[in-house]
Structure 1
Amino acid sequence: IFNTLSANSSLRLSVFNSIVDLAVASDDMDLVLPQLQYVSSWVSEWGVNIQAERDLLLTLSDRLKKTGNPYQSNEFLLKYLNTFNSQTAELDSQKDHAKRAIVESIALPEVLNFENLLKVDAIQHIKSEKAYELLSVFMNGNVQDYRALTAKYSGLVQELELNEEEALRKIRLLSLASLGSENLSRELSYHEIAKALEVDEAEVELWVIDVIRAGLVEAKLNQVSRVVVISRSIYRTFGQPQWQQLSQRLNGWKQSLQEILQVIANAKLTSAAVSTAVITN
């Protein structure tokens, strides 16, 4: 029925909703997943109003969560929240959904970048919430910041229904990535890393391997010297401090290049002088 309707028919919306409900009921949501990439363009073609679009996006998020597709569910939840902006009167009514988006993003093991959440007005609207404070730690903080916040709000992790072990693992990975970005190409001792992550030195190699596997850094381990050299690391955020750091590195490279060029120039002068002396003799 869906394909027999014209591409811009608003009836396609109700038919698509029925298809999704049927897929959920028959445990065949996998058949629908490949089509979800077209939802945004379909909504535009159907010409439905904003409320109908919101209902669809939120329904998809809920159905995807129910059928064990948490990443896609989170994606559609954020799309839903993005239909509200700072001028939207309904922002107050979206606090629970905004909090859910934060919690689910923190809970998903492969979500390691949170900058897109900060661009969502509905999430910015709940800055006074504890969930937002926790998001800020995962954006910019380290293990010590995480410990401080969870000590400040006793039972916070349980209140947000997060897995303590998984949350701590993620903040350790992110902390190690930040440590790497601040110390590129410098030898980091096992002791420094263990202290930053609050783990035993015997665990450092496993954490370095994990952060490499997560794609957050590129690094080499020296088991004899017990040091790690990180050659590349992601920036969890890229703001003014990161621009300043980049500027300092560029200036450092510029200075090093100038020194190399000076050495080459001096070598050429010396070579020319020697050649002249040989010819004269």
Structure 2
Amino acid sequence: MPAPSNTLLIEGSFAELAEEFAQYVDALRKEGSLQSEIAPLLQPIREQEQSEGEPDLKQHDEVLKKIVAAAAVLNGAPEKEITPSYNLLVHLVHQASDPDAFLPRICAYLAKPITTSPQFGPTLAISILTTIFNTLSGNDSSRYHILLAIVAVIRQSGSGYAFEALKPQLANQLPTWLTAWELDDEEAQKLHLAIADASTAAGDDDLAQSHVVQALQTIPAADASKPAARDLAVRALASALRRPTVFDFTPLTGSDAVQSLRSSDSTLFELLEIFTSDTLDAYEEFIAASPLASISGGVLAEAADALQTKMRLLTLTSLASSTPSRSLPYATIVSALRVPATDVEMWVIDTIRAGLVEGKLSQQRAEFLVHRATYRVFGEKQWAEVQGRLMVWRRSLEGVLTVIRSERERFVREGIQAAADQEAAKNNDKARSGGPRRNQQSQPAQTREVEPTAE
């Protein structure tokens, strides 16, 4: 798979290697026409190489035109010789005045089956293409054609291993590559659709949907109503509606091509609006009036169950996000989703798994306590709800702060009073224990006179 750039080293002058390659091609074709065709073109190149002068790349181009045109025969070479023969061809092409003029054609050859190795041909082709890709600088636009060829080989071969190896590069490097290559809208769209097709072949429908939407976003507003744009918009929208993991339709509603469906495919666009912001009631009314088989050539004819399931999940999401008390009774869910009461918890759990809501089920109280819910659309009404909830939260915090201040003041008062009471008690104790001694010391000494007695 694409990796940091490296260098392909092959010894020999351009004239020597070109003649060697022509001999090999003639041996595969069992005729000597290519070698004889390029012989007169190689003569001035040899003379220039012998004189050690600056090579005339225009002369190289004339030789390469014939060599590359005959290189399709390499797909029929023995398996062990395919990689070195293509490496030699790529080395020669890098000595052209403009390698980009030849590399797309080589990539086209490699995107076709290698007839001598039906089993390992795709692996060989991917390996060769990866080598070509990595010999070019990161901002070389030729990498675009090579990546297209790699993706085409992966799609045709159905190689899950190769696709899994490519996925990290697409996730981490593709945006950088697209910027560096300076692709126009048509080229970018072609690459995204190729990746989407390869993803579908590998069974990764989520990645396929992502790249279909990115391809849709490359359509300029001026081309939004053209047939090709309409077809892509229908494909992207139908895929998003069918996919069980797609609940956010904002990238689609923001597309000019999808908006153009309002006039070309009005029923499909109406269905999009229902899935964007409406509930199961509106969906069932719509289906009663416009069966799925009649919408845009039946692109959703086989998706009735998937659409109804998704609509129930979205309806439950709307209920959760619009419940002021954040307590959603089971009875309300039963009525809105039209499901048995015994299935309510299953639908809530499925909605939680889809990442649309968070909360806690209470069987005892028969309610769903909503902790978080996704807004399907976010407009003035939703901003008003957020403002209201913020005001409630603010008042709640103010109440908490008031209680905290009151308790703090009470604690301080009680502390002061307790300190005062303790000091008073201490003084009283001292007074009781020291009072009698002070009284005794202050009392004057009493004397008694003793009369003398006669003997």
Corresponding residue number in structure 2 for 1:151: 288
* Matched letter for residue 286 of structure 2: L
Unaligned runs of 5+ in 1: none
Matches of 2:137 and 2:402, distance apart in 1: 71
1:202–1:90: structure 2 CA closer, same or farther, 3 Å change rule? closer
Corresponding residue number in structure 1 for 2:167: 33
- Length-normalised TM-score, structure 2: 0.56
Is 2:182 the partner of 1:47?
yes
Matches of 2:180 and 2:154, distance apart in 1: 23
Corresponding residue number in structure 1 for 2:275: 138
* Matched letter for residue 278 of structure 2: G
Q: Tell me the SS of whatever aligns to 1:224.
A: coil
Residue 384 (structure 2) aligned to one of 244, 263, 278: 244
Corresponding residue number in structure 1 for 2:38: none
Is 2:369 the partner of 1:229?
yes
**Which entry has the higher C-alpha Rg, 1 or 2?**
2
Corresponding residue number in structure 2 for 1:57: 192
How far has the Cα of 1:56 moved from its partner?
A: 1.8
Query: Is the contact between residue 219 and residue 229 of structure 1 (CA under 8 Å) also seen in structure 2?
Result: yes
How far has the Cα of 1:10 moved from its partner?
A: 2.4
Query: Is the contact between residue 213 and residue 251 of structure 2 (CA under 8 Å) also seen in structure 1?
Result: no
How far has the Cα of 1:21 moved from its partner?
A: 1.7
1:277–1:106: structure 2 CA closer, same or farther, 3 Å change rule? same
* Matched letter for residue 136 of structure 2: L
Residue 211 (structure 1) aligned to one of 348, 351, 358: 351
Corresponding residue number in structure 1 for 2:226: 92
Residue 178 (structure 1) aligned to one of 303, 315, 318: 318
1:200–1:5: structure 2 CA closer, same or farther, 3 Å change rule? same
RMSD: 2.7
Matches of 1:126 and 1:68, distance apart in 2: 28
Deviates more, 1:68-77 or 1:33-42: 33-42
How far has the Cα of 1:245 moved from its partner?
A: 0.2
Query: Is the contact between residue 193 and residue 212 of structure 2 (CA under 8 Å) also seen in structure 1?
Result: yes
Matches of 1:268 and 1:64, distance apart in 2: 64
How far has the Cα of 1:90 moved from its partner?
A: 5.0
Q: Tell me the SS of whatever aligns to 1:9.
A: coil
Corresponding residue number in structure 2 for 1:108: 243
Q: Tell me the SS of whatever aligns to 1:127.
A: helix
Matches of 1:27 and 1:208, distance apart in 2: 38
Query: Is the contact between residue 64 and residue 73 of structure 1 (CA under 8 Å) also seen in structure 2?
Result: yes
1:50–1:177: structure 2 CA closer, same or farther, 3 Å change rule? closer
Matches of 1:117 and 1:50, distance apart in 2: 18
- Length-normalised TM-score, structure 1: 0.88
Residue 117 (structure 1) aligned to one of 246, 252, 258: 252
1:268–1:73: structure 2 CA closer, same or farther, 3 Å change rule? closer
How far has the Cα of 1:152 moved from its partner?
A: 2.0
Higher relative contact order (CA 8 A, sep 6+): 1
1:110–1:273: structure 2 CA closer, same or farther, 3 Å change rule? same
Deviation string, structure 1 residues 45-71 (Cα, Å, up to 9, x no partner)? 223333222222222223322332221
Aligned pairs for 1:61-80 within 5 A: 61-80=196-215
How far has the Cα of 1:199 moved from its partner?
A: 0.6
Deviation string, structure 1 residues 73-123 (Cα, Å, up to 9, x no partner)? 11111111111233x235423112111111111111111222222222211
Matches of 2:223 and 2:243, distance apart in 1: 30
* Matched letter for residue 155 of structure 1: L
User: Share of identical aligned residues, percent?
Assistant: 32
Matches of 2:402 and 2:175, distance apart in 1: 58
Residue 82 (structure 1) aligned to one of 208, 212, 217: 217
- How many residues align? The count is 280
How far has the Cα of 1:3 moved from its partner?
A: 0.6
1:36–1:257: structure 2 CA closer, same or farther, 3 Å change rule? closer
1:110–1:270: structure 2 CA closer, same or farther, 3 Å change rule? same
